[in-house]
Amino acid sequence: MDISILLALQQFREGGGGIFLKFLEKMTFLGEMNTVLVIMAVVYWCIDKDMGAYLMMGWSGNRLVNGMLKVTACVYRPWIRDARVVPNAATMATATGYSFPSGHSMNAASVYGGCLVRSDFSRASRIIFALTVALVAFSRNYLGVHTPQDVLIGVSAGLLVMVLTYLLMRWIAIHPKEDKYVAVVGLILAVLVATYAAVKPYPADYDLEGKLIVDGAKMARDTFKGVGWCMAFLIGWILERRLVRFTTQISPYRRLTRFAVGLFTYYAVSLILVPLIASGISGAAGTLVSCFVQMFYVVFLFPLLVKLAEGDQPEAVFGKKQKRP
């Protein structure tokens, strides 16, 4: 049935439904990894620190869940399972690895669905968030790179993780000193996922040209991305809560300055430093370290630089006797 739905959408797309193509390509962009990372970073630095931390914690957890499900199910892409499926060429170029569950759908459920989970948004805003999640998920079907099952499970799992994260963050707000135990448990889970992805066997199926359909080593490296982001968030989050404690209760001018400087330095780290690390350290370890550096910069290093640049002395930033706000 999944393939039948994709074939029906494909027929519509090729028979005059191209009018929706550009729009849905833009919607699928909202589920891209780098897009959601930038959105979460801007929220965390400039708008609402607690909201940003909640989104990043939930998203990091979702990356672990997505990676573990992908390497466990090992479901091939729709066009591999049925040659009649012809995906959108531009989207297909980036749709590598296993299909189930949809990473874009889980990203959308993490960020836009994460906002939907919270009750401190207006009804109109919540409708917009819900529509965004639905359109990002549907775009993956319309473009032919995921089945309905992929996106439904992706959205459902993503929202479940965000609900659990929301409840966990509320508990931490009541018991702030217990955050270290949350971090320890999260780090242990990340190590277990990394170990599982590294040691498990992968299918070794070949196409008609004798090429491996999906490289198991690459899938392990992709899972290590989520592990690196998750570990960096947890460590950076604990360090920031104890050593930096920056605030987003600032003037519009400071918000704008943080936004501009933050984006510039984020892209410098992501486009220059991260590739250098990945090329200098081979294999899954390089993937883990490069993603760790990227997220650690967002969660801890840039807030530290902001705190220092905005007038705090180092001893005030790192003072042991500061009380938690």
Q: What is the pLDDT of residues 253-268, one digit of tens each?
A: 999 999 999 999 999 9
Q: What is the pLDDT of residues 261-290, one digit of tens each?
A: 999 999 999 999 999 998 899 888 899 999
* CA 115/CA 54 separation, integer angstroms: 10
DSSP 3-state of 216: helix
* CA 26/CA 138 separation, integer angstroms: 12
Which DSSP symbol is given to 32?
S
Q: Is the pTM of this model over 0.85?
A: yes
The b-or-e profile of 166-181 (16+ CB within 10 A means b, else e) is: bebbeebeeeeeebee
Residues 68/197, Cβ–Cβ less than 8 Å: yes
Average pLDDT of every residue of the chain: 90
Q: What is the pLDDT of residues 194-250, one digit of tens each?
A: 999 999 999 988 888 888 888 888 899 899 999 999 999 999 999 999 999 999 999
Catalytic residue among 146, 221, 225, 258: 146
Q: Is the pLDDT of residue 319 over 50?
A: no
Q: Is the pLDDT of residue 13 over 90?
A: no
Give the confidence band of 312 by pLDDT, cuts at 50, 70, 90: low
**Residues in CB range of 213: below 8 A, 6 or more apart:** 76, 80, 203, 205, 206, 207
- Check residues 205 and 60 and name the one with the higher pLDDT: 60
Residues 103/66, Cβ–Cβ less than 8 Å: yes
Q: What is the pLDDT of residues 96-136, one digit of tens each?
A: 889 999 999 999 999 999 999 987 888 899 999 999 999 99
**Residues in CB range of 186: below 8 A, 6 or more apart:** 60, 61, 230, 234
Catalytic residue among 70, 104, 140, 258: 104
Residues 77/94, Cβ–Cβ less than 8 Å: no
Per the annotation, the verdict on 146 as an active-site residue is yes
The b-or-e profile of 111-149 (16+ CB within 10 A means b, else e) is: bbbbbbbeeeeeeeebeebeebbbbbbbbbbbbbbbbbb
C-alpha pair distances (Å), 81 with each of 26, 99, 247:
26, 11, 50
